[in-house]
């Protein structure tokens, strides 16, 4: 599975809107990034 940086940015923005936690979300975002590219 391959995602562009734009896709990843959109996903992060969606998470920020969904959860409203701008401090915790980046950690989830990078966990997701690691899951996709370093699985």
pLDDT per position as a tens digit, 1-39: 566 777 777 777 776 666 655 555 555 566 666 666 654
- Residue pair 36/1 in contact (Cβ under 8 Å)? The answer is yes
Q: What is residue 4's predicted lDDT score, i.e. its pLDDT?
A: 75
Q: Which residues of 3-36 are buried (b: 16+ CB within 10 A; e: fewer)?
A: eeeeebeebbeebeeeeeeeeebeeebeeeeeee
Q: How far apart are CA 22 and CA 39, in angstroms?
A: 25
Q: What is residue 10's predicted lDDT score, i.e. its pLDDT?
A: 78
Q: What is residue 16's predicted lDDT score, i.e. its pLDDT?
A: 67
Q: What is residue 13's predicted lDDT score, i.e. its pLDDT?
A: 74
Cβ neighbors of 26 (< 8 A, separation 6 or more) are 12
């Amino acid at each position: 599975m391959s995602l562009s940086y734009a896709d990843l940015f959109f996903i992060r923005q969606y998470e920020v809107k969904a959860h409203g936690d701008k401090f915790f979300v980046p950690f989830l975002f990078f966990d997701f990034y690691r899951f996709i590219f370093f699985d």
